[in-house]
Amino acid sequence: MERMVRIAVDLVNAGELPAVESAEAFLRAHEEPEPVEITRHDLAGINAVRERLRPVFGAEPAEAARLLNGLLRDYAVRPYLTEHDGTPWHLHVAEPDAGWAEWLAAQTALALAGFAASHGFGALAECAAADCRQVFVNSTPKRPKRFCTPTCAGRTRVAAYRARRAQ
């Protein structure tokens, strides 16, 4: 499940994948077993899934739940256990003949829903830096994060300091 949460975050942060090769490289970088063969139809679907995932991050809880429930409904999540291609038993939630976009939508929606149920919807966040559009997940229960990286946090603090000094 953690892997699919990471894939969801990375997919949103990647921006539009411009070519079949970039989608294949993305999936391989996230340790998808071969064969990773993306069609132009898959590419369009993957980019559409990315667009549907983005607003989940930073949304009010009821809205985030509505968006995730829509993905779960539209991609007919039906969990089952499987072992294939030398992998140990693991959970699949898309039909065996599903395309890459359907698989990605079902897996990431279920992973984000589980993560939000465990950590709260506030853990699915957008960076608070004014010039950043990255999303992230925060599993730190005691210290909520506002920024995707220490770099964004530092830039924001420096900008606020300079603004105060200029007054």
pLDDT tens digits, 133-156: 999 999 887 767 889 998 999 998
- Give strand pairing partners of 124: 137
pLDDT tens digits, 103-113: 999 999 999 99
Kindly state which CATH superfamily the domain 2-166 is placed in: Jann2411-like domain (1.10.3300.10)
pLDDT confidence of residue 55 = 98
Confidence of residue 87 (pLDDT cuts 50, 70, 90): confident
pTM of the entire predicted model: 0.87
Q: How far is CA 128 from CA 83, 88, 137, in A?
A: 41, 39, 13
Per-domain boundaries in the chain: 2-166
Amino acid found at 78 = R
Dihedral angle, C-alpha 145, 146, 147, 152, nearest 10 °: -130
Is residue 100 within 8 Å of residue 108, measured between CB atoms? Answer: no
User: Helices (DSSP H) in 31-88: which residue ranges?
Assistant: 40-53, 61-74
Mean pLDDT, to the nearest integer, of 79-90? 83
